[in-house]
Amino acid sequence: MLQGRTIVLGVTGGIAAYKAIEVCRRLVDLGAHVTPVLTEAAHHMVGPTTFTALASEPVKTSLWRDSHHIPHTKMGQTADAIVVCPATARIISDLRTGRSGDLLSATLLATTAPVVMCPAMHTEMWEHPATVENLAVLAERGVVIVPPEEGRLAGGDIGKGRLAEPATIVDRVVKLFADRPLEGRRVLVTAGGTREAIDPVRYIGNRSTGKQGYAIAAKATQLGAKVTLVTTVDRPVPDGAEAVEVTSAAEMHDAVMGMAAECDLIVMAAAVADFRPIAVADGKLKKADGVPEIELEPTVDILAALGEVKRPGQVLVGFAAETSDLRVNAADKLARKGADLIVANDVSAPGVGFAHDTNAVTILGADTFVVDVPLTDKGSIADAVLSAAVDRLPATD
């Protein structure tokens, strides 16, 4: 199942490092060429001799004591995947911030291959806001997170933070290569909220942070797609995606319409402003001049424009942020815009929509398809959206 795949197995200094031995053995049994990389702290938990005996080549430990003069670059470029097991809070933070402090962290920065992080730590560390935020950012960039389980921890107490079982970890690695239904497809994703200028310093906007759109772009690259992300926000671009930066609805319209014909799947996750000022002041409006009268006009309807030119075989997905009558409003939008799917969420609900790391959606299809996805992380929402979209793409030759 993994024949011909090169996998770098990074082992850090968590007590669960002993389970990485079983992960190593299973990967090799499935045909993978496994290159083990142990951090200095890992040596306090497990011995390099064991990994050298089980893996496909001797353990790597240092930037300076390897026969290759730039081992991190070599491993990063040749790896089909990098699996970090266990992933401590330290290595998670290093990757999020781009810190290169040892061979493993340098290799993680020197690769465009999929990265699988398998966190293991005490419950308080797992639930710390810094860890939660770091993992959320990594997930947006396309890093695969294999969450820990609930169970007995090193300190003797029970809680969340126990490393996932080796079989679970290896199954997730296998899926990296088995589940690539968008291989060879071109996917366009929009993200963020547009900003419509009032004057040089003010604008009409919304609360969108782009997190959901970025999660969809990241998942699409993992599924093999060539992804273009049209975005209004300054966030780290998912590995493998190309970003096009825009600000206003008009700019997003021009960017999207210029690429739409070449795309197999378009996901309009951006929150596009419905109105914009008719006139934009040349200079900053002054409070001393009194309350300004700002006359608005509709912005261009990008989703409807895409629906009008949608070619046979192309799949179009829209989003609907609602505060009431979710299904009724979403169904109406689906019918009017010519989309294949509408992803609707109630942004007034706790933990849902703008700025949150979680979301809950209802996905409606023009073919009467309906699925409710309860509150979960935005990566899982992306999985559900792309799964529904993939089912509607025509088979390739």
**Distance of alpha carbon 54 from alpha carbon 299, whole angstroms:** 61
Determine how β-strand 226-231 pairs with β-strand 275-277. unpaired
Which residues lie closer than 8 Å to 218 by C-beta, 6 or more apart? 139, 140, 141, 142, 238, 239, 241, 379, 382
Peptide bond into 71 cis (omega under 30): no
Cα–Cα distances (Å) from 277 to 144, 204, 249, in that order, read: 42, 8, 12
Tell how many helices (H) and how many strands (E) occur in the chain: 13, 19
Of 206, 329, 345, 359, which one is the catalytic site residue?
206
> For residue 301, how many C-alpha atoms fall within 13 Å in the half-sphere facing its CB?
13
In total, the chain counts a number of residues equal to 397
Kind plus residue range of the DSSP H or E element containing 22: helix 19-29
Closest CA to 246 of 233, 259, 263: 233
Active site residue 134: no
Six token digits for residue 196: 């419509």
| One-letter amino acid of 17 | A
Catalytic residue numbers read 206
